[in-house]
Amino acid sequence: MCGIIGLVHPKTADLKLNNASYEVYRALLTLQHRGQDAAGILSYDEEKGKFRGEKDLGLVSQVFNLENLEKLKGRMAIGHNRYATVGTDGKSDLQPIVTGYPFGVGMVHNGNLVNYHQLAKEFSDNYKVQQLTNNDVEVLLNLWCHGVQEKRDWDAEISFEHIKASAKNIFEKAIGAYAIAGLLSGVGLFGMRDPQGIRPLILGKKIWDKEKNLVSHCLVSETTALNFLGFEYVRDIKPGEVIFIQEDGEIHSEELATPKSASPCMFEWVYFSAAESTFEGKSIYGVRLNLGRVLGRRARKLIENNVIRPDIVCPVPDTSRTSAIALAESLGLPYREGLIKNRYTQRSFILNTQDKREKAVELKLSPVRSEIEGKNILLVDDSIVRGTTSKKIIQLLKKYGAKDITMAITCPPLRHGCFYGIDFPKESELIANDKNLEEIADYIGANRVIFLDEADLKEAVEKNDLCMACVNKKYPTSVEAGEEFARQRSLSKEGNA
């Protein structure tokens, strides 16, 4: 899972519109929660007719400063926040990536190709194409270039017809989740979303001067970035749609691959997106309130049957705070912050090793003894993946005197691997894969656990068509290549890829 943005400013002498990289940088800051491993920006400098790029490991604020942003000239740019789910921690695997042949194009993407290794091998076997990175965005870029090359009349300008040919090539061959933004040298910005719409991509615009038709456009992972930049939301790019924003602001789009049913990832609402964002017309905050209310229904039954007698509702900060508030309201119980988060540490779930995740819990959560000691706690969290983080949190609460802990989770048990951009491709890593509810509670040290079921989740999101494959194994694409993907991922985490 990553954060992406592409932006095109209008052609004007107004200097503030000549540096798209600055807006891209600000957008990446607001998308930091989507990936904290690395960040990168690529711009197109029209004056010099060349791409300019900067990318490095670290947070956006560590990678960029006024000096290097100044150098990323041009009114068109793309940017990326990396959360590694494929490839290594090495610099060569960072995005954006760029090529000059058969046309100058830079690309960023959010998601994962299930058949990445297969496609990389096909390129190597059939065309002797050497992969320069361990990142699936390179395969997407190669597919894009192949599509345009087959269609291209070398005397003609790159047009929407070429972009459609490239997008079709990707839609036909790439299996998995991908939301793409691409920068075409001197030509414009394109974007596309996989035929199942697993990952988000949103179109926004900002009108600077209506009479002079000075309008900027952007494609971005979350609406929170639009708000921050002062852009207005236009629409979600549809599953299987390709969009082309010409350098003069003219927009072309077409749905090239129609899905049987769209399958946006339920985890965008449960955990991943910022609370203030909206995805597919559904407010993330609103859905999290619903999740808390639905969970409240389950907890009420247990209270009525004298199974639990919670004194307080307490969130594991930050994501589950919204649901915990709604849950407390629905049960008429006090809402208390029993754990305070150090705001300067990273989200633990998306840290890429177990060791880092466990250390992050120690660093980021401080217990509030006065609210915990002697209490029966209804503890709310968004998910239990491997169980080790929950175990640490419960140990901490018990150490500070919690009497009884019911862990209430705002999604169903995760039992199957994800191949679409969240880093748990192996079933065997998941605590719920081979444990029932009592065993899960035992393992994490809670007195009991409550999960939502699939119907609860659909009710809360108010959508039936969702990817819930990590819950029900109903993958929206073929996952024939999934085993190889999981094997390669393990190797790269061990540094052997």
The site for ligand SF4 (CB under 6 A) is made up of 198, 265-267, 418, 420, 422, 467-470
Q: Which is nearer to ligand SF4, 74 or 240 (CB)?
A: 240
Q: Which is nearer to ligand SF4, 34 or 336 (CB)?
A: 34
Burial class (CB in 10 A: 0-12, 13-18, 19+), 141: buried
- Inter-CA distances, 375 with 289, 305, 379, 398, Å: 24, 19, 11, 10
What number of H helices and E strands is found in the chain?
17, 21
221 vs 219: CA distance, rounded Å: 7
Helix (H) or strand (E) holding 140: helix 136-151
Q: Which is nearer to ligand SF4, 22 or 271 (CB)?
A: 271
CB of 230 to ligand SF4, least distance (A): 31
Position of tokens 């990707």?
Answer: 170
Active-site residue, selected from the candidate residues 2, 218, 411, 467: 2
Nearest to 113 by CA among 195, 222, 36: 195
CB of 267 to ligand SF4, least distance (A): 4
Judge whether 145 counts as a catalytic residue. no
CB of 155 to ligand SF4, least distance (A): 43
Name 473's Cβ contacts closer than 8 Å, sequence gap at least 6. Answer: 415, 416
22 vs 77: CA distance, rounded Å: 9
299 vs 304: CA distance, rounded Å: 9
CB of 270 to ligand SF4, least distance (A): 9
Query: First-to-last CA distance in the chain?
Result: 20
CB of 345 to ligand SF4, least distance (A): 23
259 vs 451: CA distance, rounded Å: 30
CB of 233 to ligand SF4, least distance (A): 23
Omega within 30 of 0 (cis) for the link into 413: no
Burial class (CB in 10 A: 0-12, 13-18, 19+), 299: buried
497 vs 495: CA distance, rounded Å: 6
Q: What are the backbone dihedrals phi and psi of residue 44, each rounded to the nearest 5 degrees, phi first?
A: -115, 115
Q: Which is nearer to ligand SF4, 40 or 476 (CB)?
A: 476
343 vs 365: CA distance, rounded Å: 9
Q: Which is nearer to ligand SF4, 51 or 419 (CB)?
A: 419
CB of 475 to ligand SF4, least distance (A): 7
Q: Which is nearer to ligand SF4, 242 or 266 (CB)?
A: 266
Q: Which is nearer to ligand SF4, 181 or 270 (CB)?
A: 270
Active-site residue list = 2
